[in-house]
Copies of this chain bind each other. A is one copy, B any other.
Amino acid sequence: MSNGAETRILRSRAKIVAAAEDCFLHHGFLGTNMDAIAEQAGVSKQTVYAHFGSKEALFIQVVERMTGGAAHEIGEDVEDDLEGIPVRDFLLKVAKDQLSIVLTPRLMRLRRMVIGEVERFPDLGKSLYENGPARSIDRIARAIDHYASTGELRPTEPRAAATHFNWLVMGGPIGSAMLLGDAGIPGKSDLGVHARECVRIFLCAFGSEAVSES
């Protein structure tokens, strides 16, 4: 295949995925048809089918791309270098990063759509769970393990403690964004107050005495 042909194919694929993302996020899986996606992408319906085979396959592609993208942005794959970073600073950074990256109208709409389709597409719910909360809990657990070894946290079961921290931070804001729509996404300064208070609560329960009382 010539380079020009390959570029054209990739470009039309990208246009289809972008159009599909827009249609699915606004009308849901059942409310979207391939004609609308083709029209918005400016290609024929045949081209959409040639690339993706079915509406299901295209839906999966869109959701996987969005969940993977968000996980990558939070940097959850990266091994944190914690040497010299106080536990309080690390936890506050994690909380703020997660809140600001996850609580966007676009990702909240994706999450609502995946939740609404969990029975039809259980693998997508699983994938969002693994790319979202599970990955973030893994990252926090590794850090808790480290801070237990430096004595900044009391000895504890790292994954259980990390799970509590994750949901203490994310449970409320996500819960309200799920049910109240974009209006349920707290503002930036509220999220800052929330993040600091979650870190305080966590350190009261899991910090060594020196840390939790400072």
Contacts and interface: CB of A to CB of B under 8 A. Distances in A.
Given A112-B115, A129-B179, A170-B171, A164 B30 contact: no
Contact of A180 (B125, B168, B179): B125
Given A30-B28, A116-B115, A172 B167 contact: yes
B197 A164 contact: yes
- Judged by DSSP, the binding face of A is helix
Interface residues of A, number: 45
A200 interface: yes
A85 to B, nearest CB: 23
A113 interface: yes
A82 interface: no
A119 B179 CA distance: 10
Given A167-B175, A176-B129, A116 B119 contact: no
A115 B178 CA distance: 6
Contact of A133 (B112, B126, B176): B176
A128 B181 CA distance: 12
A171 B122 CA distance: 20
A168 B122 CA distance: 26
Sorted from nearest, which 4 A-B pairs have the closest CB atoms? A116-B116, A171-B171, A167-B171, A167-B172
